[in-house]
Amino acid sequence: MSTTAHCLNPVLVGGTGRSGSTILGRLLGHHPDLFLTQPEEVRFIANEGGMATTLATATASWPKRLLTRREAERAVRKCSHAWFKRPGGSGLQMTITREEMRAFGDRYLANIRKDPVAATQEMTYDIMAKVTAKAEGRRWVDGTPANARHTDLIEPIYPEAQVIAIIRDGRDVAASFVEQTFGPNEIFEALDMWAKRSLRMHTAVQKCRPGRILTIDMLDLVKHKRTESVQAICDFLGIPVDPGMVQWYDENVLESKSHAGRWRAQFDESTTKRIDARYAKLVADLERQGVPIPLEA
């Protein structure tokens, strides 16, 4: 393992996707005690097929753990390709060379069967030491949305990590997804995905140690409880509210930029009625399972 000092208590921001994790990560990155990773979403830890889900396979009961080698090889490929080079010059390529990544991957594959947790920690810590080389001892913040959905699987890698999950009206989440070049491009499919991810987030929270995760509603952050939300986040992380961070927040985290209620204007009246009916059913099912429901936009 690298001799570089490792941050073992990072701040992991996540959500369902299109729920505000990017802006929350950037807000935290303006606190002098924290360092926002570059790229802002490292992805390789929390995303499906990454370190956390592969470790879950490697530590599962037989016969699932027989898939360990295949899943580990897939994780290494994605670290060297899909998560390495992303559009706009982003991705792990920003701080790691291909040769370094190849060495990390070879070592990981050689040890994953012998000691899955140690091998996973070694590769993760070595990559993150490169990503956060400019942190100068500060805790790092990653904004990969899947952090909140797979936080229970990440816990063996970073037992001391803290997670901030941001939730948002599922109709706005779905409406935002259909305008992107990734994810579902049909509104009702996007609504179903929001519900599935919301349930997975709740399940992950239930499996983690108490007090590890803070849930923030996007509407509270941008509108209803602005001061209280910032205070709650800083209290959770054990850091003081910083004037510079607050100034950036006041200038950039605005209700006018949040597109709250966008789903009403984005579709015709007939479709909005159908969206509302589907959402009501999904919310009722989630409520029965104890899932926190976002404020209505």
Looking at the structure, tell me whether residues 247 and 209 fall in a common domain.
Answer: yes
Looking at the structure, tell me whether residues 142 and 33 fall in a common domain.
Answer: yes
Looking at the structure, tell me whether residues 260 and 162 fall in a common domain.
Answer: yes
Looking at the structure, tell me whether residues 148 and 17 fall in a common domain.
Answer: yes
Find the domain containing 242 and state its range: 6-37+133-297
Looking at the structure, tell me whether residues 106 and 208 fall in a common domain.
Answer: no
**Residue after which a domain boundary falls, among 112, 131, 150:** 131
Q: What's the pLDDT at 1? A: 43
297 pLDDT band, cuts 50/70/90, is confident
Looking at the structure, tell me whether residues 173 and 294 fall in a common domain.
Answer: yes
Looking at the structure, tell me whether residues 175 and 144 fall in a common domain.
Answer: yes
Looking at the structure, tell me whether residues 62 and 11 fall in a common domain.
Answer: no
- For residue 160, tell me if it sits in a domain: yes
pTM: 0.96
Residue with tokens 């004037």: 243
- For residue 44, tell me if it sits in a domain: no
Looking at the structure, tell me whether residues 226 and 266 fall in a common domain.
Answer: yes
CATH code assigned at 191: 3.40.50.300
- For 14-27, write each residue's pLDDT tens digit: 999 999 999 999 99
Q: What's the pLDDT at 5? A: 61
- For 194-247, write each residue's pLDDT tens digit: 999 999 999 999 999 999 999 999 999 999 999 999 999 999 999 999 999 999
**Residue after which a domain boundary falls, among 131, 155, 173:** 131
- For 150-167, write each residue's pLDDT tens digit: 999 999 999 999 999 999
Query: How many domains in the chain?
Result: 2
Mean pLDDT of the chain: 96
Looking at the structure, tell me whether residues 224 and 265 fall in a common domain.
Answer: yes
**Residue after which a domain boundary falls, among 131, 156, 177:** 131
Looking at the structure, tell me whether residues 181 and 121 fall in a common domain.
Answer: no
- For residue 243, tell me if it sits in a domain: yes
Q: What's the pLDDT at 6? A: 84
Looking at the structure, tell me whether residues 139 and 238 fall in a common domain.
Answer: yes
- For 90-128, write each residue's pLDDT tens digit: 999 999 999 999 999 999 999 999 999 999 999 999 999
Q: What's the pLDDT at 181? A: 87
- For residue 1, tell me if it sits in a domain: no
What percentage of the chain carries pLDDT values higher than 90? Answer: 96
